[in-house]
Amino acid sequence: MKDFTLESERCIKMEGDRLRTEMERERHSEIQIPPIALDWSYWHSWWDVERDARHDGVVVPNKQPGVYEVMLDDVRKTLLAIGRTNDLRMRIKQGLVRGKTPHSVGKRIRADIKDGRVCASDIGIRWAVTDRPAAVAEELHRRYKARFGELPKYNMRG
């Protein structure tokens, strides 16, 4: 009986050690994320995006997830904002440019246009469809911050 108990304890200890090792491996596991390729649109002017597509305006993909960038077409080509969305058309046309749906970055840009601090004709917008907008936006923000030390002007809170 004593041998059985010792053998059982040894088996239980071995199983416990195996489970701890497996759990430790899971705790420190790496996740391999495949690369994401972006097919960016051309840059479009603020006014062309604002204009209805039925009246020579730009067609923004409808009900498509993606990322977008807003740029000031000055000498430095200053990136003003990086955004992500589950519906590019709704977010860019209705929120960012027209203000028909809530969009904090769009609200600040439109206020600066109205006050003359930014000229709408100098603003460009581009987008890319992706099924992983959050991951892409995070990487675009990370790269921008690594290069310039801060987020684009309109992405900063305050």
Pair (18, 49) in one structural domain: no
- Residue 16 is assigned to a structural domain of this protein: yes
What does the CA dihedral 155, 128, 101, 151 come to, rounded to 10 degrees? Answer: 0
| 3-class SS of residue 112 | helix
| Distance, CA of 46 to CA of 85 (rounded, Å) | 18
pLDDT greater than 60 at residue 94: yes
Q: Region 54-64: what's the mean pLDDT? A: 93
The total domain count for the chain is 2
- Mean of pLDDT over the chain: 90
pLDDT tens digit string along 16-40? 777 777 767 667 667 788 899 999 9
Pair (6, 66) in one structural domain: no
pLDDT tens digit string along 106-132? 999 999 999 999 999 999 999 999 999
Pair (54, 130) in one structural domain: yes
pTM of the model as a whole: 0.79
Pair (127, 70) in one structural domain: yes
- Residue 106 is assigned to a structural domain of this protein: yes
Q: Region 61-70: what's the mean pLDDT? A: 98
Q: Which residue range forms the structural domain that includes residue 7?
A: 1-32
* Among the listed residues 142, 119, 107, the one whose alpha carbon sits nearest the alpha carbon of residue 46: 119
Name which residue leads in pLDDT, 133 or 23.
133
- Residue 37 is assigned to a structural domain of this protein: no
Name which residue leads in pLDDT, 136 or 56.
136
With a pLDDT cut of 90, the percent of the chain lying above it is 70
Pair (84, 28) in one structural domain: no
pLDDT greater than 70 at residue 2: no
pLDDT greater than 80 at residue 151: yes
